[in-house]
Structure 1
Amino acid sequence: MRTVELLCSAELDAAVRAAWGRLAAAGLPSLARNTHSSNRPHLTLAAVDEFPPGAVARLAALLDAALPLPARLGDVTVLDGSASLVWLVEPAAELVETHRAVWRVLEDGEGHNPWHQPGRWTPHLSLALRFRDADWTLVRAVVGAVSAGSFVAARSYNSADRSVQPLAGYGG
């Protein structure tokens, strides 16, 4: 699987990582426990089995023109159909249009993940996987609040070899 992901500004990245740390310290599931070098806060725009020919260059140009994008965070919740604890990202017009444009670039790709398709996509930053029922008062107190930040770079993650390919505005 290949993804297209937006990466957080330094301040937003630090805030999400701090929330991961507080969840772990409270004994709750957290992405802080994933120590792979590719694990960092991100917003997934699309996931496909394979990129169509020429997609990387087209995605890079599209995302270079779109970034930075504002990120206003909303509620903390568990996504329907999954057990992922997430921070919702309010779907600003610029973000929604960038998402649709990424899907147009990937329309000839194989194996689209339907969770990310326009009209069904729920923009979010993941906090924990395999999250089950919990004391929501504790969860909200532990996570804290972040109101806004920005997305400043883009990458593609390849699940086959756990590698990352920079796409735009990438600093690491």
Structure 2
Amino acid sequence: MRGGLRAESVSDSVELLLDSAAEEAVRRDWVRLLELGLPSQARHTSASNRPHITLAAAPAIDGTFDAALRGAVRDLPQEVRFGGLLLFGGGRRTFILVRSIVVSAALTDLHRRVGEALSGLPGQFATTLTGNWTPHVTLARGLSADQMALALGAVQAEPAAATAVAARRWDSAARVTVDLSG
């Protein structure tokens, strides 16, 4: 996620990864969108591109935070529930299609702990801070208003249950992920 409601040019993030069944359900939506010629996260073919829930994002989150982040995500795995579809304004009259994640007490606590682990980090994106965060999994970025109805019709209802099985830190400068769960 690059700031959630607005695209940032480059950002680092802390992300939750989903169990294989939930990941495959999201990837099926990505493929459906791609097959219709619509924007889709499936167009990003990097090995690091996986369905995820962003917990925090900033221009840079370096390894000095890793120990604190590992402590913050110590309770994984954790059950999560998919919610409905949402559209975020993506700028320049485009939209971001996401599947929401239902906020639970456990997920809120995990998010709070990650925020505490990053205390003092400059430039954190407001959309990932406590009180502003909307947990979700991105399906497509850059949808035009004309593409929205087709995209919404293509995305299928999926099982509501999922498990956040791991956490990682995305380092955009090095273009690598760092496992925070182990």
Asked if Structure 1 and Structure 2 have the same fold, meaning a TM-score greater than 0.5 normalized by the shorter chain, the answer is: yes
Distance 1:55 1:153 in 2: 17
1:21 paired residue number = 31
2:120 paired residue number = 108
For residue 168 of structure 2, the aligned residue among 155, 165, 170 is 155
Deviations along 1:8-32, one digit per CA (max 9) or x if unpaired, are: 1000000000110011112221111
Shift of 1:54: 4.2
1:127 paired residue number = 139
Q: Show the 5 A alignment for 1:40-119.
A: 40-51=50-61, 54-63=64-73, 65-80=74-89, 83-119=95-131
- What letter corresponds to residue 85 of structure 1 in structure 2? L
Distance 1:137 1:131 in 2: 10
The CA RMSD measured in Å over matched residues stands at 1.8
1:29 aligns to what SS in structure 2? coil
Shift of 1:85: 0.8
Deviations along 1:47-68, one digit per CA (max 9) or x if unpaired, are: 12344774201111221x2211
Moved more, 50-59 or 103-112: 50-59
Q: Which runs of 5+ in 1 are unaligned?
A: none
For residue 16 of structure 2, the aligned residue among 6, 21, 25 is 6
1:140 paired residue number = 152
1:86 aligns to what SS in structure 2? strand
Distance 1:57 1:7 in 2: 18
Identical columns (%): 37
CA contact (8 A) 2:126 2:132 kept: yes
- What letter corresponds to residue 93 of structure 1 in structure 2? A
- What letter corresponds to residue 108 of structure 1 in structure 2? G
- What letter corresponds to residue 106 of structure 2 in structure 1? E
Give me the TM-score of the superposition, normalised by structure 2: 0.85
Distance 2:136 2:84 in 1: 10
Aligned CA distance change for structure 1 residues 53 and 161 (closer, same or farther; 3 Å) = closer
Aligned CA distance change for structure 1 residues 59 and 139 (closer, same or farther; 3 Å) = same
Distance 1:70 1:128 in 2: 24
- What letter corresponds to residue 17 of structure 2 in structure 1? L
2:41 paired residue number = 31
Residue 166 in structure 1 maps to residue 172 in structure 2: no
Shift of 1:81: 5.6
CA contact (8 A) 2:38 2:147 kept: no
Shift of 1:163: 1.1
Shift of 1:154: 0.4
Q: Which runs of 5+ in 2 are unaligned?
A: 1-10
CA contact (8 A) 1:158 1:164 kept: yes
Give me the TM-score of the superposition, normalised by structure 1: 0.89
Distance 1:160 1:38 in 2: 13
Moved more, 35-44 or 75-84: 75-84
Distance 1:164 1:95 in 2: 22
